[in-house]
Chains A and B, each alone.
Chain A
Amino acid sequence: MDGHNSPHPQIAEVKMDISPSASGAAGNKICRGAACDFSDSSNASKDAKERFASMRKLIIAVILCVIFMTVEVVGGIKANSLAILTDAAHLLSDVAAFAISLFSLWAAGWEATPQQSYGFFRIEILGALVSIQLIWLLAGILVYEAIVRLIKDSGEVQGSLMFAVSAFGLFVNIIMAVLLGHDHGHGHGHGHGHGHSHDHSHDDSDDDHSHHEEQEQGHVHHHEHSHGSSITVTTHHHHHSGAGQHHGAEEPLLKHEAGCESTQSGAKAAKKPRRNINVHSAYLHVLGDSIQSIGVMIGGAVIWYKPEWKIIDLICTLIFSVIVLFTTIRMLRNILEVLMESTPREIDATRLERGLCEMEGVVAVHELHIWAITVGKVLLACHVTITQEADADEILDKVICYIKTEYNISHVTIQIERQ
């Protein structure tokens, strides 16, 4: 077990190597390892793989961006054009956004310290918040530039140059959007037909073979990956696309996960391939840039054809800036919910409370707090009042089991009180 060997067993991470066999009935309660679901061995390696895959994507994007930026800077200096240099500065902001995402990804893997007893997973969320604020700032700057263009009424602004530069910027941004957003298209394919044809065929084959569970032995190692890194899912899908319908071996890589849980309820939320929030925010950044490039292109074209209709440029920029802000709203809402320690959307707190109260021996549940440390890692704490005669241990076991199977929250702290 990868021990968090903190030299002082203070407030967190008391190292405890409980072998699973020793736990027995109490195995439910005792989280295997010091920090439980946040970093036990299998989860840590899944997390690390996911993180490395995302980091690799971002690093490639950064390198591409820097190359394009140097091309633009050289071209701008040679042509002595301010517009090109401004666009190069815009690409620099892209690099900044990628750098923030990379840093957040890397920092989220730091080990927990006594001061940060939950680990550093929140850094992902804060990094995404900073990224989004950057997007807003850039939108404001672009609107300002459009207004300046309107004021400076002279032939300084060449529509053709503006058009060409923003077209190049759009091309660059589309490449990066494809690079960053590519995977999650495939990742979602298994559950929702995503418009990729081979994914559709896989849906069918998966349904056919959802019962062929015995072939899984040879493919045990797939399951570790299926939930986490979406890159491996893609390659496996491609690999199996040739094999016919009779290869039970190709088996429902992802459906098997579905088969393992007995209940088909809210636990599914965890199985949906989650795109990493930092990669998603970098993707939003690039998407916003391409939307604005389109706006600037339209403005440039307008100025090119009819230089007196400059107000259209400003209107266009305003409209497209608003569109960009709308794309960020959903992510901003998610971030805010996590930072405000609210109950995650995928968990129905009232149903949980009702389910707990219905258990025998349980009188009431109060001070129920469910919150997420980052998207996907949920914690729960509550006080359960039980009747005088009930067996505290047994009820504790049942409650923890219920929460884990129904809602897939594995880090829970339940305080049992008697009436």
Chain B
Amino acid sequence: MAMDTPKAKEAAWNANYGVVGSGDRRLAFSRQLSLVSSNANAATPRLARSDSSISMPPQLGLGAPPPKPKKLLYLGSRPMRRLALLLALNVAYSATELAIGLFTGRVGLVSDAFHLTFGCGLLTFSLFAMSASRTKPDNLYTYGYKRLEVLAAFTNALFLLFLCFSLAVEALHAFMQDESEHKHYLIVSAVTNLLVNLLGVWFFRSYARVNIVYRNAEDMNYHSVCLHVLADSIRSAGLILASWFLSLGVENAEVLCLGIVSVAVFMLVLPLFKATGNILLQIAPGNVPPSAFLKCCRQITACEDVCEVRQGRFWELVPGHAVGSLSIRVKNGADDESVLEYVHGLYQDLGIQDLSIQADDL
């Protein structure tokens, strides 16, 4: 993937997207493709998916890019390895915490360990999604397995929302019950937790933003993992702050800190939750403005053979892969083939590759 090639390690620049690869994503943009139909061939449409920092523009006359050597053993892309490392660290940490908590009888450690275990489960699912989504489409899953990444991102976001809700409940609990001493001995565990999670944030630092333009399925998954570790580190930091304030004698420090953490995590996660939820709800492709669809419809109906366009439905399988189906009514005796080619070309400019067009003669 783009992150792995040494060429892309320094900030690679792509004319349509700005910075790709592991460069500073704040400089990334997504240029709107013009609706001028590609002059040469439909075989090389200018699409979000096929544009990568590796492929050369055909005008340079270099021909097809040299094929990447096929690896027999897939060791995992760099993000996968990093996530595996993070997961191993988390599992080890939560196991030791659980053991210590059980032997010394400290409830706080056990609850923390449980929380971490849930987080580990989520990260495992993300890792599994990363590796399983490479499987080729088969008979049962005709669109392939890329949706798993979106699902993993959605599950991550959902559990983060649960976390923020539980933090709010905990704040309420602390507010009503006023037992403030049980946070003190968690300092060591909170600091360790913070360090482990900060390492995770560092691994996925290019995704440490709230609003990201998702260009492919992996983006969503990595973003969700990053937000997960970020939220965990915010929580640990909040706990440390709370016990520090308590030792300073500030009243209701716990309530305050937990409340702030809860609100922060909520604001952090909501855009990701909405974006993944939308994809799962079959929303129309986000990178194409509705006016572009309108324009396409007008162009099609302007064609003299076409009576009307009906039931155009478009959805995104994963960010960057749009699918659609369309139904048009053609005049009797018109040449279906050229109309179909024309319509296909129009939508390919928008970036919609998989399209099924039903032409009814009437």
Interface residues of A (CB under 8 A from B): 8-14, 16, 26, 29-31, 34-36, 114-118, 120, 122-123, 125-126, 130, 133-134, 137, 140, 143-144, 147-148, 151-153, 336, 339-343, 349-350, 367-371, 373, 379, 381-383, 392-393, 396, 412-418
Contacting residues, chain A, for B354 (C-beta < 8 A): 367
Contact A10 B139 (CB under 8 A): no
Contact B139 A340 (CB under 8 A): no
With A144-B110, A381-B325, A382-B356 already in contact, the answer to whether A340 and B155 are too (CB < 8 A) is: no
Question: Given the complex of chains A and B, what is the CA–CA distance between A8 and B145 in angstroms?
Answer: 35
B294 to chain A, nearest CB (A): 5
Residue B310 lies at the interface, judged by CB distance under 8 Å to chain A: yes
Among the 9-residue stretches B26-34, B220-228, B280-288, the one with 4 or more Cβ atoms under 8 Å from chain A is: B280-288
Contacting residues, chain B, for A152 (C-beta < 8 A): 105, 107
Interface set, chain B 210-238, CB cutoff 8 A to A: none
Contact A341 B143 (CB under 8 A): yes
Contacting residues, chain A, for B315 (C-beta < 8 A): 117-118
Contact B107 A393 (CB under 8 A): no
Interface residues of B (CB under 8 A from A): 101-102, 105, 107, 110-111, 114, 117-118, 139-143, 145, 147-148, 151, 155, 158-159, 162, 277, 280-284, 290, 293-294, 297, 308-315, 317, 323, 325-327, 336-337, 340, 354, 356-362
List 16 additional A-B contacts (Cβ < 8 Å) besides A114-B293, A417-B340: A11-B284, A11-B290, A11-B293, A11-B297, A14-B311, A34-B311, A114-B290, A117-B313, A126-B281, A137-B159, A151-B101, A340-B145, A342-B141, A342-B142, A349-B140, A369-B143
6 CB < 8 A contacts A-B: A16-B310, A114-B290, A140-B117, A339-B280, A371-B142, A381-B356
Contacting residues, chain B, for A147 (C-beta < 8 A): 102, 110, 114
Contact B314 A340 (CB under 8 A): no
Contact B110 A151 (CB under 8 A): yes
B335 to chain A, nearest CB (A): 10
B288 to chain A, nearest CB (A): 10
Contacting residues, chain B, for A120 (C-beta < 8 A): 281
| Interchain CB contact (< 8 A) of A416 among B107, B155, B283, B359 | B359
Contacting residues, chain A, for B145 (C-beta < 8 A): 340
Contact A339 B147 (CB under 8 A): yes
Contacting residues, chain B, for A341 (C-beta < 8 A): 141-143, 147, 317
With A10-B293, A367-B356, A417-B340 already in contact, the answer to whether A117 and B284 are too (CB < 8 A) is: yes
Question: Given the complex of chains A and B, what is the CA–CA distance between A26 and B361 in angstroms?
Answer: 9
| Interchain CB contact (< 8 A) of B356 among A13, A122, A414 | A414
Contacting residues, chain A, for B284 (C-beta < 8 A): 11, 114-117
Contacting residues, chain B, for A117 (C-beta < 8 A): 282, 284, 312-315
Question: Given the complex of chains A and B, what is the CA–CA distance between A152 and B111 in angstroms?
Answer: 13
Q: Which residue of the partner chain B has the closest CB to A379?
A: B325
Contacting residues, chain B, for A12 (C-beta < 8 A): 311-313
A10 to chain B, nearest CB (A): 5
Contacting residues, chain B, for A123 (C-beta < 8 A): 281
Contacting residues, chain B, for A350 (C-beta < 8 A): 139
With A116-B282, A122-B281, A415-B357 already in contact, the answer to whether A26 and B110 are too (CB < 8 A) is: no
